[in-house]
Amino acid sequence: MTRPQAVPTVQIDDARVIVTEWRFAPGAETGWHRHGHDYVVVPMTDGELLLETPEGNRTAPLVKGRSYNRQVGVEHNVINNTDHEVVFVEIEIK
């Protein structure tokens, strides 16, 4: 199954951080990737993400304004599992 691609817009990329806005149309995905930095996600919309991981699939609810963080090495494909656009800002700490 071919999914649309999520749209990343890098807002800051300096010596300390990378700040990227991610926009996911319904069903859009990031594609498989491995995080090279610790990171914080700041949801700008409510929604639910489907996370495809090496350990299996799971869902992750997003609540607008409720941030969460993950450590370097996370590997997954992130998919918008809703019928509306989902947006979050990802802050990677170098």
Q: Above pLDDT 70, what percent of the chain? A: 99
Strand partners, 79: 29, 50
- Residue 52 banded pLDDT, cuts 50, 70, 90: very high
44: left (phi over 0), alpha (psi -120 to 50) or beta: alpha
Find all residues with CB under 8 Å of 47, minimum gap 6, and list them. Answer: 61, 62, 80, 81, 82, 84, 86
What's 7-93's CATH class? mainly beta
Q: What is the structure's pLDDT at 64?
A: 98
Q: What is the structure's pLDDT at 77?
A: 98
Predicted confidence (pLDDT) per residue in 6-26, tens digit: 999 999 999 999 999 999 999
Strand partners, 24: 86
